[in-house]
């Protein structure tokens, strides 16, 4: 199987399955002599941990990170940083009923067609539990970016049909909104699910990151986001709404602000011609409803026969709150990767 590594200069390779022994990763290309705040990295993993609220999976995992290599006396050595998280609350028997059936909108059928074999235990490698390694790798990248005052910040801007206030970054905001709370509780009672949208800004990025052809900064951000489980859409800057605008309204006019070249507006989302212009990078990521429902669905088994699939297991009503650190992690990895050998290092 290919496609388990992300990045060019800073490369994250992940491994593991949902109900295997562990999930983890190897981060190669991380510079030496960088002080590593391990409690911060663990706090990032805690943000995506299951079982934190009623609308997330009740699977009980501490997700405690173990570093295997690449650190000495609290600093990076320049060697590959290997890490893992053991799976403690495994219940593979929850998936016995789907071992011969294809779950609607899951990777079961496509995986079987590609590899001729699949791991039905929570989706195996295609499970969102793989994102633990992304969050850990992204936390290391955030430590690098922090040294240049670059900040990655994501928030929930939509849950199902509900538009949320700007910068609703904490899932606690959902609990404090009665309408959304009632909506999610009703979905859970019905055995159904919903999707949502995460917005993200990256501030402090200098002009000059990205390449003008195939490695455009927004292209790599799009690949990073679309590689996350359940993501169905990505746009940046004005996004799809820009298609309805006139060029005279959409153009970001340059202004001299205290001796610095800035733009009056930011419809470009901080990127022009595939290269950052120094403004905030702004993008949105759309997540589909969770495909696993706690209700019966009609489907086919591996013999092509019609069967009724019973809803079982431990699953999220909405993945968006737990996906916040995943979006931030992938964004941090993209910016850190593009920063190596760039104008950023020369500044």
What is residue 236's predicted lDDT score, i.e. its pLDDT?
Answer: 98
What is residue 346's predicted lDDT score, i.e. its pLDDT?
Answer: 44
Quote the CA–CA distance of 196 and 158 in Å, as a whole number: 5
pLDDT (tens digit per residue) in 206-247: 999 999 999 999 999 999 999 999 999 999 999 999 999 999
What is residue 223's predicted lDDT score, i.e. its pLDDT?
Answer: 98
pLDDT (tens digit per residue) in 297-320: 999 999 999 999 887 767 889 999
Quote the CA–CA distance of 263 and 107 in Å, as a whole number: 43
Contact yes or no for 38/67 (Cβ under 8 A):
yes
Quote the CA–CA distance of 136 and 184 in Å, as a whole number: 29
- Residue extents of the structural domains in the chain: 5-346
* 92: its two tokens: 């593979």
Count of C-beta atoms within a 10 Å radius of residue 225: 24
Residue 90 confidence (pLDDT) above 70? no
Place of tokens 């799976």: 87
Nearest to 217 by CA among 197, 232, 231, 237: 237
Mean predicted confidence (pLDDT) in 82-89: 90
Place of tokens 């240049």: 148
Mean predicted confidence (pLDDT) in 48-61: 70
pLDDT tier at 146, thresholds 50, 70, 90: very high
Nearest to 282 by CA among 230, 225, 232, 228: 225
pLDDT (tens digit per residue) in 242-290: 999 999 999 999 999 999 999 999 999 999 999 999 999 999 999 999 9
Contact yes or no for 166/197 (Cβ under 8 A):
no
Nearest to 311 by CA among 132, 188, 181, 167: 188
3-state helix, strand, coil in the chain (%, to 5): 30, 25, 45
Torsion of CA 123, 138, 169, 54, to 10 degrees: 30
What is residue 94's predicted lDDT score, i.e. its pLDDT?
Answer: 65
CATH for 5-346?
3.60.150.10
Quote the CA–CA distance of 145 and 76 in Å, as a whole number: 15
pTM: 0.92
Mean predicted confidence (pLDDT) in 87-110: 80
pLDDT (tens digit per residue) in 164-209: 876 554 555 565 689 999 999 999 999 999 999 999 999 999 999 9
Nearest to 171 by CA among 324, 332, 328: 324
Quote the CA–CA distance of 179 and 25 in Å, as a whole number: 39
What is residue 75's predicted lDDT score, i.e. its pLDDT?
Answer: 97
């Amino acid at each position: 199987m290919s496609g388990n590594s992300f990045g060019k200069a800073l490369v994250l390779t992940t491994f593991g399955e949902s109900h295997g022994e562990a999930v983890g990763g190897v981060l190669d290309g991380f510079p030496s002599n960088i002080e590593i705040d391990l409690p911060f990295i663990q706090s990032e993993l805690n943000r995506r941990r299951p079982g934190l609220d009623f609308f997330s999976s009740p699977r009980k995992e501490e997700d405690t990170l173990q570093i295997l290599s690449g650190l000495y006396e609290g600093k990076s050595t320049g060697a590959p940083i290997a890490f893992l998280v053991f799976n403690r609350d495994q219940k593979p028997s929850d998936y016995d009923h789907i071992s011969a059936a294809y779950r609607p909108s899951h990777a079961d059928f496509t995986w079987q067609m590609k590899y001729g074999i699949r791991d039905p235990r929570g989706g195996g490698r295609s499970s969102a539990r793989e994102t633990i390694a992304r969050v850990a790798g992204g936390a290391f990248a955030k430590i690098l970016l922090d040294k240049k005052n670059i900040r990655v910040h994501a928030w929930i801007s939509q849950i199902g049909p509900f538009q949320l206030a700007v910068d609703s970054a904490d899932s606690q905001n959902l609990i404090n909104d009665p309408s959304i709370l009632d909506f999610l509780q009703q979905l859970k009672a019905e055995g159904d699910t919903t999707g949502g949208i995460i917005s993200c800004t990256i501030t402090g990025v200098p002009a000059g990151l990205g390449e003008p052809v195939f490695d455009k900064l927004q292209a790599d951000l799009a690949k990073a986001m679309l590689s996350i489980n359940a993501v169905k859409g990505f746009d940046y800057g004005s996004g799809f709404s820009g298609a309805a605008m006139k060029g005279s309204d959409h153009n970001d006019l340059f202004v001299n602000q205290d001796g610095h070249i800035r733009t009056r507006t930011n419809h470009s989302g901080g990127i022009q011609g595939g290269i950052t212009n120094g403004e905030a990078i702004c993008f949105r990521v759309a997540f589909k409803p969770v495909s696993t429902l706690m209700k019966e669905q009609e489907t086919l088994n591996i013999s092509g026969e019609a069967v009724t699939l019973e809803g079982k297991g431990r699953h999220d009503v909405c993945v968006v709150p737990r996906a916040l650190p995943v979006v931030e992690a992938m964004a941090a990895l993209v910016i850190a990767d593009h920063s190596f050998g760039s104008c950023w290092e020369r500044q």
